[in-house]
Amino acid sequence: MKKDLVNIKDLSNDEILKLFDIADEMSRAVEKKERLDLCKNNILATLFYEASTRTRLSFESAMFRLGGSVLGFSSTEGSSVSKGETLADTIRTVANYSDVIAIRHPNEGSARVASQYSSVPVINGGDGGHQHPTQTLLDLYTILKEKGSLSSLTILISGDLKFGRTTHSLAISLARFGAKMCFASPPGLEMPEYILRTLREEFNNFPQEGTNIRDFIHQVDAIYVTRVQRERLGEMEYLKYRDAYVLSSEVMKSAKHETIVLHPLPRVNEISRDVDKDPRALYFKQAFNGVPIRMALIATLLGKV
Ligand code: NCD
pLDDT in tens, 166-186: 999 999 999 999 999 999 999
* Distance in Å, CA 44 to ligand 1 centroid: 20
Residue 1: what pLDDT? 83
The predicted-structure confidence for 113-160, as pLDDT tens digits, reads as follows 999 999 999 999 999 999 999 999 999 999 999 999 999 999 999 999
- 138 and 123 in contact (C-beta within 8 Å)? no
Nearest Cα to Cα of residue 8 among 201, 202, 174: 174
- Of 78-82, 104-108, 135-139, 208-212, the least confident: 78-82
- Amino acid (1-letter code) at residue 125: G
Q: How many whole angstroms from 264 Cα to the centroid of ligand 1?
A: 6
Q: What are phi and psi of 103, to 5 degrees?
A: -130, 140
Answer yes or no: pTM beyond 0.95: yes
Prior bond to 192 cis, omega within 30?
Answer: no
DSSP 3-state helix, strand, coil percentages of the chain (rounded to 5)? 45, 15, 40
* CB of residue 132 inside a 6 A radius of ligand 1: yes
Q: Which domains does the chain have, with CATH numbers?
A: 8-132+290-301 (3.40.50.1370), 133-287 (3.40.50.1370)
Q: How far is the CA of 65 from the centre of ligand 1 (A)?
A: 23
CB distance 54 to ligand 1 below 6 Å: yes
Closest to 155 in 3D by CA, of 185, 184, 133, 129: 184
Ligand 1 atom 12, closest CA: 227
The whole-angstrom separation of Cα 274 and Cα 198 is 37
| Residue among 135, 142, 161 whose CB has most ligand 1 atoms within 8 A, to mutate | 135
Letter for the amino acid at 209? E
Please report the pLDDT score of residue 78 as a whole number: 87
For the chain, what is the largest distance between any 2 Cα atoms, rounded to a whole number of angstroms? Answer: 54
pLDDT of residue 91: 98
